């Protein structure tokens, strides 16, 4: 596995150089995996920053459970479907109302930032660092003024 990890970047460069139908299939696979890695990175971010995933994400097994619990959500991303399934749907909930539905988790995080800015809402206090990372690292807004925790993460990434 260590050898595979070492060879993977070069291997991906080689296989990505293919053209035609083979190249198109390779790009589709890479896009799927990239989306999975984006979801994994966002879900791990809360844990890394010492915040609770449950403060940003709420899991629902089906649409009925989602509808029943919607009115108790202040500002969250609801994830509907069986954990581990590729067919999970994310929905932004603000003030007990569905704002955007049927998107993937990374897109919902970006859209939630837009909603916060458009409606001039405050970040939830319990997710201060997560939203600061979204704002300052991912959206590159006011990135020079960040908390020590976020600057440490930024230095580790860039």
pTM over 0.85: no
Contact of 100 with 108, CB cutoff 8 Å: yes
Rounded to whole angstroms, how far apart are CA atoms 76 and 46? Answer: 13
How deeply is 143 buried, as exposed, middle or buried, from its count of CB atoms within 10 A (0-12, 13-18, 19+)? middle
Domain hosting 40: range is 2-157
Q: How many domains does the chain have?
A: 1
Q: What would the pLDDT profile of 35-84 be if each residue is shown by its tens digit?
A: 778 888 888 888 899 999 888 998 888 878 888 877 778 888 988 887 66
C-alpha dist (Å) from residue 51 to 37, 55, 57, 98, 99: 20, 8, 12, 24, 24
């Amino acid at each position: 596995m260590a050898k595979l990890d070492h060879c993977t970047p070069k291997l991906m460069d080689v296989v990505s150089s293919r053209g035609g139908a083979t190249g198109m299939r390779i790009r589709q696979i890479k896009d799927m995996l990239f989306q999975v890695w984006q979801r994994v990175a966002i879900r791990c971010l809360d844990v890394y920053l010492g915040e609770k995933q449950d403060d940003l994400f709420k899991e629902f097994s089906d649409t009925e459970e989602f509808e029943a619990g919607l009115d108790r959500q202040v500002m969250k991303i609801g994830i509907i479907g069986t954990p581990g399934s590729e067919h999970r749907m994310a929905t932004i909930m603000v003030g007990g109302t569905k704002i955007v539905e049927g998107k993937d988790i990374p897109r919902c995080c970006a859209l939630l930032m837009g909603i916060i800015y458009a409606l001039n809402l405050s970040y939830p206090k319990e997710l201060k660092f997560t939203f600061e990372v979204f704002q300052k690292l991912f959206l590159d807004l006011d990135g020079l003024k960040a908390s020590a925790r976020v600057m440490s993460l930024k230095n580790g990434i860039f």
